Amino acid sequence: MQNDKLTVSGMRPTGPLHLGHYFGVLKNWIALQQETEAYFFVADWHALTSDFADTTLIRHNIREMVTDWVAAGLDPERCVVFRQSLVRETAELSLLFSMITPVAWLERNPTYKEQQQQISGKDLGNAGFLCYPVLMAADILMYRPYGVPVGEDQLPHLELTREIARRFNSFYGATFPEPQALLTPAAKCPGLDGRKMSKSYYNGIFLSDSFEDIGKKVRGMFTDKARLRKSDPGNPGVCNLFPYHLLLSTDEEQAEVRAGCVSANLGCVDCKKLFLKNLKVFLTPLHERRILFTEKPGMAEEILAIGNEQARAAARATMADVREKMGL
Q: Confirm or reject binding of residue 248 to ligand SF4 (CB under 6 A).
A: no
Applying the rule CB under 6 A, the residues between 284 and 323 that interact with ligand TRP are none
**How many helices and strands in the chain, by DSSP H and E?**
15, 5
In 3-state terms, what secondary structure has residue 7? strand
CA distances (Å), origin 269, targets 34, 133, 220, 274: 39, 45, 10, 9
CB 134 within 8 A of CB 101: yes
Give min distance, CB of 258 to ligand TRP, in A.
Answer: 33
In three-state form (DSSP H/G/I as H, E/B as E, the rest C), the secondary structure along 173-220 is CCCCCCCEEEECCCCCCECCCCCECCCCCCCCCECCCCHHHHHHHHHC
Give min distance, CB of 313 to ligand SF4, in A.
Answer: 51
Which of 257, 279, 303, 311 is close enough to bind ligand SF4 by CB under 6 A? 257
Applying the rule CB under 6 A, the residues between 130 and 149 that interact with ligand TRP are 136, 139-140, 148
User: How many binding residues for ligand SF4 (CB under 6 A)?
Assistant: 13
Which residue, 84 or 175, is less far from ligand TRP as judged by CB?
84
For residue 39, what is the DSSP state?
Answer: E
> 93: closest CA among 182, 175, 6?
175
43: partner contacted, choices ligand TRP, ligand SF4, none (Cβ within 5-8 A by kind): ligand TRP
Q: Confirm or reject binding of residue 322 to ligand SF4 (CB under 6 A).
A: no
Give min distance, CB of 158 to ligand TRP, in A.
Answer: 8
Single-letter amino acid code for the residue at 245: H
Q: Confirm or reject binding of residue 190 to ligand SF4 (CB under 6 A).
A: no
Q: Confirm or reject binding of residue 28 to ligand TRP (CB under 6 A).
A: no
Give min distance, CB of 241 to ligand SF4, in A.
Answer: 4
Q: Under the rule (CB under 6 A), what is the footprint of ligand TRP?
A: 8-12, 43, 46, 136, 139-140, 148, 150, 154, 157
